[in-house]
Amino acid sequence: MDDLRQKYLDAIANAGDETALEDLRVQAIGKKGEISLKMRELGKMSPEERKAAGPALNALKDEITSALAAKKEALADAALDQRLRAEWLDVTLPGRPRRAGTIHPVSQVTEEVTAIFADMGFAVAEGPQIESDWYNFDALNIPPEHPARQEHDTFFMSRAAGDDRPPHVLRTHTSPVQIRAMQAQGAPIRVIAPGRVYRCDYDQTHTPMFHQVEGLAIGEDISMANLKWVLEEFCRAFFEVDEVELRFRASHFPFTEPSAEVDLRCSWEGGQLKVGEGDDWMEILGSGMVHPKVLQAGGIDPEKFQGFAFGLGIDRLAMLKYGIPDLRAFFDSDLRWLRHYGFAALDVPTLHGGLSR
């Protein structure tokens, strides 16, 4: 038994890795190991022999087990020490700066627009992005033969055969939110409706999904003069200039009467946009007085109330203000682009603190 003890203690001491150590464990105290086989022989011994051999074998097994555990811990310590020597790090070096996340230009401009109109008393209204054909077209006085109601311009939702429910679409503008807001709040009302919209179009200045903000103000004595003042104040605050000049051009939209396209005086000298000066004009939005049929669809008496509405492209505003040349880059998920055009997360736009930092 002494020879067996010395044999395994020497082998354990000389083991070079955990694999060799595991082999020794199996040879010594495994199910068919030498010490385990000797313990099976205890049943063949006389009571006197068993009384002497039993405690000795148990002590040997415990000693071998302890030696195996101690050697395993020593090998682990040695491996860790070797790894620490190889993978050293100078903790006195300055830390690497962590890149902070940035706000997407669309989100930034949405917050800027919201802050400006909130200062003028406009609340924010929201609605679903999947709209019924009635809210998206009929309630806005868009006739069945209008091109916007064709599949080449609008994303219609798929319907199962035999489904006779009204068709649904991915909303083509945020104007349906105006109808929902009128139905929910009645008049007088003053809201803006920012959000995603969808159209079948894709090029440098159009994408299938983009962002709009609609404005709506209804009261008993609202006129085009109020609309002009609101848009002038908005442009002055958004582009952060002292003076702006707007030009209203007669146009046609089914949901407003009269309707007007709005141009902004600007200059493109040197490829840089300067608002409020120069001899160029740039179209920025569509607007007009809300059509009486639209008021009726929203549950408002057109004989008593009237109001104005307008719509702006948030993505286009971002391109103009921050010099972004291609609309498609907004949705490419390119971190390099976002780091360049993004905004600090804690710089919340306010009129008193400045919209852009």
Residue by residue, what is the 3-state secondary structure of the chain?
A: CHHHHHHHHHHHHHCCCHHHHHHHHHHHHCCCCHHHHHHHHHHHCCHHHHHHHHHHHHHHHHHHHHHHHHHHHHHHHHHHHHHHHHCCCCCCCCCCCCCCCEECHHHHHHHHHHHHHHHCCCEECCCCCEEEHHHHCHHHCCCCCCHHHCCCCCCECCCCCCCCCCCEEECCCCHHHHHHHHHHHCCCEEEEEEEEEECCCCECCECCEEEEEEEEEEECCCCHHHHHHHHHHHHHHHCCCCCCCEEEEEEEECCEEEEEEEEEEEECHHHCCEECCCCEEEEEEEEEEECHHHHHHCCCCCCCCEEEEEEEEHHHHHHHHHCCCCHHHHHCCCHHHHHHHCEECCCCCECCCECCC
Q: Are 8 and 127 part of one and the same domain?
A: no
- Counted domains in the chain: 2
pLDDT band, residue 185 (cuts 50/70/90): very high
Percent of the chain clearing pLDDT 90 (strictly above): 37
Tell me: pLDDT of 357 over 60.
no
Distance CA 189, CA 193 (A): 13
Residues 133 and 197 in one domain: yes
Q: Which residue has the higher pLDDT, 333 or 151?
A: 333
Residues 314 and 283 in one domain: yes
Tell me: do 208 and 329 sit in the same domain.
yes
> Is 168 domain-assigned?
yes
Question: What pairing do the DSSP bridges indicate for beta strands 130-132 and 209-219?
Answer: unpaired
pLDDT per residue as tens digits for the range 238-264:
988 888 999 999 999 999 999 999 999
Residues 57, 22 share a domain: yes
Give the whole-angstrom CA distance, residue 69 versus residue 83.
Answer: 21
* Domain end (from 30, 53, 86): 86
Whole-Å CA distances, 45 to 6, 33, 36, 136: 24, 19, 15, 97
Asked if residue 17 and residue 164 are part of one domain, the reply reads no
For residue 235, give both structure tokens. Answer: 């442009």
Which of 149-153, 230-234, 246-250 comes out lowest in average pLDDT?
A: 149-153
**Residue 200 included in any domain:** yes
147 vs 335, residue with greater confidence: 335
Share of the chain above pLDDT 70, in %: 95
The number of beta carbons lying within 10 Å of the beta carbon of residue 153 is: 13
> Do you find a cis peptide bond into 176, omega within 30 degrees of 0?
no
**pTM greater than 0.95:** no
Within-domain flag for 236: yes
Highest mean pLDDT among 72-76, 85-89, 275-279: 72-76
Distance, CA of 112 to CA of 345 (rounded, Å) = 14
Q: Is residue 353 part of a domain?
A: no
Q: What's the CATH number where 230 sits?
A: 3.30.930.10
Residues 177 and 294 reside in one and the same domain: yes
- Do 151 and 294 sit in the same domain of this protein? yes
Residue 357 maps to a domain = no
Q: Which residue has the tokens 């971002």?
A: 318
Which tokens go with 88? 């050293």
The per-residue pLDDT for 246 is 92
Q: Where among 21, 55, 86 does a domain terminate?
A: 86
The answer on 291 and 181 residing in a single domain is yes
- Do 164 and 209 fall within a single domain? yes
Q: Tens of pLDDT along 201-231?
A: 766 667 788 899 999 999 999 999 999 999 9
Q: State the pLDDT at residue 204.
A: 62
pLDDT confidence of residue 353? 63
Residue 51's pLDDT is what? Answer: 81
Give the residue with greater pLDDT, 310 vs 336: 310
Higher-pLDDT residue of 131 and 276 is 131
Q: Is the pLDDT of residue 12 over 80?
A: yes
pLDDT at 162 over 80: no
Give the model's pLDDT for residue 152: 64
Residue 44 lies in a domain: yes
Residue with tokens 């019924």: 132
Dihedral (C-alpha) 162, 166, 167, 171: value to the nearest 10 degrees? -160
In a domain, 91, yes or no: no
- Residue 45 pLDDT class (50, 70, 90 cuts): confident
As a whole number, mean pLDDT of residues 171-179 equals 92
72 and 116 fall within a common domain: no
Structural domain contains residue 354:
no
**pLDDT tens per residue across span 49-69:** 878 888 888 888 888 888 888
Domain hosting 56: range is 2-86
Do both 338 and 225 map to the same domain?
A: yes
pLDDT at position 24: 85
Q: What per-residue confidence (pLDDT) applies to 32?
A: 82
- Average pLDDT over the chain, rounded to an integer: 86
